[in-house]
Amino acid sequence: MTRRLSTGFLVLVSVVLFALFAATLPGFGQEGATHAGCEALACVQLPEDRDCPVRWVSLPVGQPEQPVRSAEEIADAIPHVVRVTKKFPDDGYCTSYTWDTGSGVCSADPPGCAVPEPGADRCGSSCFCIDPGEGVEIEQDPPVPFQLYGTDGEVEWVLQPNRFYLVAVPIGVRGLRAHHLFKAFEECTVDHVSRLACDGSMVDWQPGMGRESDFELVPGEAYGVWTADVDCVAHGSFSPVATHVPRGCNGTAYVVRGEGFGGGYGWAVDTRYTRPYTGLQDAEAEDPNAPGAGPGAPPAAEVQALVEDIDAQRVPEVAAQVDRTAPEGDRLCVLGTGDHPVLWVSPFGLPPGEGCGVNDGGPCDLEGAKIEMLPFPAPVVWLDKRYVHWTDTADTYDVVYGKILPLRRGDGFPAATEGCLEDDTRETQTLHDWLEDVEPGIDGYWFLVRAANAWNVGLYEQGAETGLFGSRDPGIQASGADCP
Structural domain including 186 reads 49-238
Residues 193 and 304 in one domain: no
Residues 59 and 180 in one domain: yes
Burial class (CB within 10 angstroms; exposed 0-12, middle 13-18, buried 19+) of 282: exposed
Residue 214 falls inside a structural domain: yes
Residues 162 and 226 in one domain: yes
Q: What is the pLDDT of residue 419?
A: 94
Residue 316 falls inside a structural domain: yes
CA angle (226 as vertex; 223, 227 as ends), nearest 5: 135
Number of Cα atoms under 13 Å in the Cβ half of residue 328: 9
What is the rounded CA–CA span in Å between residue 451 and residue 462?
9
Q: Per residue in 8-64, pLDDT tens?
A: 222 233 222 222 222 222 222 222 223 345 666 666 665 555 568 899 999 887 766
The chain-wide mean pLDDT, for the chain, equals 75
Q: Per residue in 161-219, pLDDT tens?
A: 999 999 998 877 777 899 999 988 877 889 999 999 988 899 999 988 988 899 998 87
The SS3 call for residue 68 is coil
Residues 383 and 369 in one domain: no
Residues 352 and 388 in one domain: no
What is the rounded CA–CA span in Å between residue 400 and residue 445?
10
Residues 435 and 463 in one domain: yes
Instruction: Specify the number of domains making up the chain.
Output: 3
Q: Which amino acid is at 328?
A: E
Residues 185 and 307 in one domain: no
Residue 39 falls inside a structural domain: no
Q: What is the pLDDT of residue 82?
A: 94
Q: What is the pLDDT of residue 78?
A: 83
Residue 248 falls inside a structural domain: no
What is the rounded CA–CA span in Å between residue 118 and residue 129?
9
Ranges of the chain with pLDDT below 70 = 1-51, 63-66, 241-253, 258-296, 315-317, 335-369, 372-377, 453-456, 463-470
Q: What is the pLDDT of residue 105?
A: 96
Residue 132 falls inside a structural domain: yes
Residues 323 and 406 in one domain: no
Domain boundary pick from 238, 261, 289: 238
Residues 381 and 356 in one domain: no
Q: What is the pLDDT of residue 483?
A: 92
What is the rounded CA–CA span in Å between residue 153 and residue 31?
10
What is the rounded CA–CA span in Å between residue 248 and residue 39?
7
Residues 436 and 311 in one domain: no
Q: What is the pLDDT of residue 461?
A: 82
Strand partners, 113: none
